[in-house]
């Protein structure tokens, strides 16, 4: 009897896994077509200084305009990208589009601070990331100091040869900012932080969400802010959704914030219009 139950569970499990891999295989096949047909696009979300309101950065976030399923977010296809051979291809597309956007904002005299792209671990591993960044810089004539690369803490693990860190050090020396994304959720050893080519920390939005309800989250956010100050690096606090969160954070320091309260990620034209209004408002406030 228990054997029967065990068998059932096993067959259920394998059917489920097969369905999973079938679905993934379909997404992967779709993705190759998506790249050919230019269905991948970026949406943009600003990062602003919490006190001055100055736009300090713009994060480029990947979307896929699927012909049948509509606009898909990274959670729906990025895991497949990372497992496939497409990661470096998609990474290069992101760099190309993000820097093309930065070029246009510069030409229009819009203050965007830096354009931030998310690094795919597989792109870095493939060994083409540095060349792809330099290519995009060249092609779009964007200064390296107008670019941020957001990396996950886990990048720095399992890198015995330190080759991945060398690439980031190289970019950092050229003026590209390197920021640790989702900071506080990974395993970054604090003692290593000072040795890494890091220009900023992004406080994970899970802390922001708990900021008003949980005093422990406040302690963590405060500690990260003090740590960044001691290391002389920047802070971006993610996932700002309410005025109360902004008010609380303002008491804690002077840094940048990003979240739905300021602006939701938006396609190029919509974001550019937001940036234009913002630039105008700041200019007229200055005179």
Residue 118 in the binding site for Mg ion (CB under 5 A): yes
Stretch that binds ligand C2E, among 72-80, 158-166, 244-252, 271-279 (CB under 6 A): 72-80
Residue 259 in the binding site for ligand C2E (CB under 6 A): yes
Backbone angles phi, psi at 59, to 5 degrees: -90, 130
> What residue 78 binds from Mg ion, ligand C2E, none (CB within 5 to 8 A, per partner kind)?
ligand C2E
Q: Residue 47 is inside which H or E element, if any?
A: strand 40-49
Stretch that binds ligand C2E, among 12-20, 68-76, 101-109, 137-145 (CB under 6 A): 68-76
Residue 239 in the binding site for ligand C2E (CB under 6 A): yes
Closest CA to 127 of 163, 177, 159, 100: 163
Residue 182 in the binding site for Mg ion (CB under 5 A): yes
Count residues near Mg ion (CB under 5 A): 4
Nearer to ligand C2E, 96 or 111 (CB): 96
Nearer to ligand C2E, 231 or 246 (CB): 246
| Nearest distance, CB of residue 179 and Mg ion, angstroms | 8
Closest CA to 57 of 188, 164, 176: 176
Please identify which residue in 44, 46, 112, 150 interacts with ligand C2E, judged by CB under 6 A: 150
* C-alpha distances in Å from residue 276, one per residue of 2, 54, 260: 68, 13, 18
Distance, in Å, from the CA atom of 105 to the CA atom of 100, rounded to the nearest integer, reads: 9
Residue 150 in the binding site for Mg ion (CB under 5 A): yes
Closest CA to 227 of 257, 259, 253: 253
Residue 181 in the binding site for Mg ion (CB under 5 A): yes
Residues β-bridged to residue 235: 201
276, exposed or middle or buried, with CB in 10 Å at 0-12, 13-18, 19+? middle
- Beta carbons of 65 and 55 less than 8 angstroms apart: no
- What string marks each residue from 104 to 143 as x (binds ligand C2E by CB under 6 A) or -? --------------x-x-----------------------
Residue 241 in the binding site for ligand C2E (CB under 6 A): yes
Distance, in Å, from the CA atom of 38 to the CA atom of 178, rounded to the nearest integer, reads: 28
Contact positions vs ligand C2E (CB under 6 A):
45, 61-62, 73-75, 78, 94, 118, 120, 150, 181-182, 205, 239-241, 258-260, 265
């Amino acid at each position: 009897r228990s054997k029967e139950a065990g068998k059932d569970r096993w067959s259920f499990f394998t059917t489920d896994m097969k369905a999973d891999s079938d679905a993934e295989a379909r997404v992967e096949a779709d993705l190759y077509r998506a790249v050919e047909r230019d269905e991948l696009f970026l949406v943009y979300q600003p990062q602003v200084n919490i006190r001055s309101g100055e736009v300090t950065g713009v994060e480029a976030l990947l979307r896929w305009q699927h012909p049948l399923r509509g606009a898909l977010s990274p959670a729906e296809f990025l895991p497949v990208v990372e497992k496939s051979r497409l990661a470096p291809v998609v990474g290069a597309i992101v760099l190309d589009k993000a820097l093309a956007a930065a070029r246009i904002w510069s030409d229009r005299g819009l203050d965007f601070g830096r354009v931030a792209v998310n690094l795919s671990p597989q792109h870095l591993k493939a060994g083409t990331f540095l060349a792809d960044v330099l290519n995009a810089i060249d092609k779009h004539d964007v200064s390296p100091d107008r670019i941020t690369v957001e990396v996950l803490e886990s990048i720095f693990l399992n890198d015995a040869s330190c080759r991945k860190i060398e690439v980031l050090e190289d970019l950092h020396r050229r003026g590209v900012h390197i920021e640790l994304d989702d900071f506080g959720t990974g395993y970054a050893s604090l003692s290593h932080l000072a040795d890494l080519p890091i220009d900023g920390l992004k406080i994970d939005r899970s802390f922001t969400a708990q900021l008003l309800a949980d005093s422990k989250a406040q302690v963590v956010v405060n500690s990260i802010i003090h740590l960044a100050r001691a290391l002389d690096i920047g802070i971006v606090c993610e996932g700002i959704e309410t005025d109360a969160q902004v008010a609380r954070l303002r008491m804690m320091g002077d840094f940048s914030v990003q979240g739905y309260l300021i602006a939701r990620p938006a396609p190029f034209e919509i974001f550019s219009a937001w940036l234009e209004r913002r630039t105008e408002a700041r200019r007229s406030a200055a005179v």
